[in-house]
Structure 1
């Protein structure tokens, strides 16, 4: 039986022709949630379902696809997997407009993404983003004509913006919005969201663990990575789907797995494979997933910024450091059958060496203990705590992606 993966709602122009679609989170209860409690995780789930499970070619033909975005997602690597010419990044009204956010928005526009501002109410702090956005969304549900007109009048002159009226539910609302100069329209009066369904393929847990461990070996080369991934049809399919979105956006359609690896690089392909393999395991506590990812990303951040030669081994050590929680067996027993080097196993089991020291710092930060500065030369305790928070934020953004790519 197909899985109900997401919702899709048309967006119309003034002639009532469909010009775009918004991708909507489908809640566990079966409804479409315009304002989920965890908007970030909801968007990650939508992205995974739309661009990996279903494939962008099934969605809206050649029309633009609107996706909700907060600060974390705008800065995440996940954005780089999306096809810029097909996606409108809908910046939520809850974001804080900072110089860093504006710089990120500028970079995304230069890459070809269209920016929209959601549920917009003008204040001067939004001026830098208004200069970059092409679409402004106004929620017109329960708002009278005069109030809508006042919101439009408050917009500063000089910006070439398309106005989109969302939650248009009556003929009168539609007529008012036409007369007020709106260009785009979305709501139940015009079309209700439709469910998009698909199937998720299964995966073998033990085989996946061995594959995951082998892919993290720092001695592995491109040809072996290609061979290992090629043996797992499910993993090959998911990776080609995921990387294919970025390739098509660059005018470089993929025909082979080697092309995909060459396009994104060996380091990136190994990390994305790790995420998708972890996501193939059934019955794992979501908290354990988040914790494993946080440790892996924390170790990776420390490696990238202070010990670049150990970056990959640090990521691997962090990824497997809490494997006992994922498999619900003792850690030594969980690691025993895996082809991990003694350096990594010693770090995980006994906190040996640099890798073990970084893992110990992660545990101390998580437990709220005092961090001894001397254990990592040149890296202060406060700095490590900031790295851990950064890793946790990135892990949360990936959590639902991992869960949704798992077989069910």
Structure 2
């Protein structure tokens, strides 16, 4: 079994353009000897479905030249797949003809600046990656002028903070790769809007042993957007295959307490994320489901909902751009969730840390966390894949904003 990560690549306005996929051998502490050789092979032998993993998004996959000359997996669709290759050092007719054949059917090619990108390579690639750590405005201008392809797009990598993102914008890159969206901004706004405070108050209801159903019903009935999302969700075939539900009361009754708590949490988070990239919510959903699966795996089904909420709210400080301790004064969560989010301790924190390791390709952290949780790497990788599938499916009926696919 392999472990994998997917790093988002954004447009300037925060929409996901594509995911960079990375795979590693997850057995013991052994790493794959070559990312390029193992990306395609491991994904196929371990039954990773590209369509399930990406749900219509475009993907960038590293391949070696020898791998490129082999058969391409059938479920890699040309319109959604980019192959990242090394710099072409020699005019290899067989390799160049293979690249041209793949380009004819729609595959696109990416080259990174790990080595100097020469004129030969620029003849065949559609995208070039440059690290923000070693690029200047003149470099970007030279790259564009060097190629005969007027449509060449430039992806800047290693964008890890919002400050990085802001510094890259004036250089006129086409796309931005990195986890900057998971970090807080340097200058948060002074006050939280009343609408967000109301959603934090609604989230606090989830911490109570017994839900105040009448209060929740009243909140939904007096908020047109919440009502719309609830009815959209409850009448989606994935959730409800037999009943047409037309009232808020019927919808709340039909959901049941556990699903209602989840739905209220997700919709509340959707509201307070307004103005941020939707990818923040997608990552939150993945973490929520992952933590729930780990909790169930350990036999703690009674705490599965708590684990779900811990994962879901693990980015609430980033979403609201506030210190987590400040937020805990405005929202009430279960004590074990506060311990995980504020003190970075406890089993819930270990679950979140394991998911972060998988999503960001921090393999050392991944292996350490699996040991602490007594979960095998194979199981963790499988739960992560299940969480991605669930988030892709679940997000569609929850909000019209999920997911925005195939941004060009």
Q: TM-score range by the shorter chain?
A: 0.3 to 0.5
Return the TM-score normalized by structure 1.
0.45
Return the TM-score normalized by structure 2.
0.45
